[in-house]
Amino acid sequence: ALVATLALSLVGLVALRYLGPDIGFRRAAMILAMVIGAATAGLAALLARLLLRPVTTLSIEAAALRRDPRHILTPLPHYGTRELADLAQGIATMAAALQNREAQVRSFTDHVTHELKTPVTAIRAAAELLEDGVLPAADRALVTQILGATAQMQTRLEALRRVTAAREPGHQGVCRLADLLPDLAAEHPGLRIKSTGADIPLPLAASGLHIVLGHLIHNAAQHGAAEVTLTATASDGIASVMVGNDGRPISPGNRDQIFTPFFTTTRDLGGTGMGLTIAESLLRAHGADIALLPDDQGVRFLLRFTAA
């Protein structure tokens, strides 16, 4: 196409030089302009069919896959070029591999939580029966430890189940902070929750954003925060929410681990270390992300939502 475009310009100049003296330069220029315009239009149509339409269709399929990881890529009506056909096949293969891996992780998690639930429940029931009996102090302390361990195991299994559920793209929609503020304030009466940009649309259903903000606000309360600020902004098709609090800062040694499953500094308060993991999994399943911002202005998390 590039060679043809350059050739048309060169041929036009040569033809104008030879046709001009015979039929007049103005008439020759008009004729050549029409011929070159028609040829250029033909090249444009060819490029649209060979490149623009396949790339646009592939982009639409990729966007559908981003919205729903279980979406099956449909074959393109035509691929235009061999390179585009190879690219489309590579994307389809990669998507299928990711879907299979996601299904395997989900199946394994469901299997593990199901298989462990019954024996853990049985151990807890047996320990409770022993606790009701007359036991020496040492044995009673051991039973108490068993009950505490089984409670922790049940909590971890439930957290794993919630993480798996969070990876499912089931919160498609649009909401605003204003839709969530009354419920969040009622759930955390000990905190002052302030908001800016509460009417900015965010490309996530209220049910999903409520889960994410709920975990962040709960963590803030556990770390001694008295005030939480929610600041929503939107620019160039990217919406974001900054969640800040005035609680205890995160130590430098812990900043790189806060999204690691089961990592927590509040285990004595019942923390499971899965709250941020659940929030991150849910956001990523819906084309968004979460990051911990530098600590020069307190504890701040940034949620970024790409355009739907």
| 84-112 pLDDT tens trace | 888 887 887 877 777 666 665 665 666 56
Query: Averaged over 172-189, what is the pLDDT?
Result: 91
Whether this model's pTM surpasses 0.85: no
Residue 298's SS3 state is strand
Number of residues that make up the chain: 308
Which residues of the chain form beta strands (DSSP E)?
192-196, 227-235, 238-245, 288-292, 299-305
The span from the CA of 293 to the CA of 258, in Å, is: 12
Residue 151 has pLDDT above 90, yes or no: no
The span from the CA of 22 to the CA of 246, in Å, is: 85
Average pLDDT, the chain: 79
pLDDT in tens, 206-253: 988 998 999 899 889 888 889 999 999 998 878 999 999 988 888 888
Residue 44 has pLDDT above 70, yes or no: yes
Q: Mutual orientation of helices 2-23 and 25-47 as an angle, nearest 10°?
A: 160
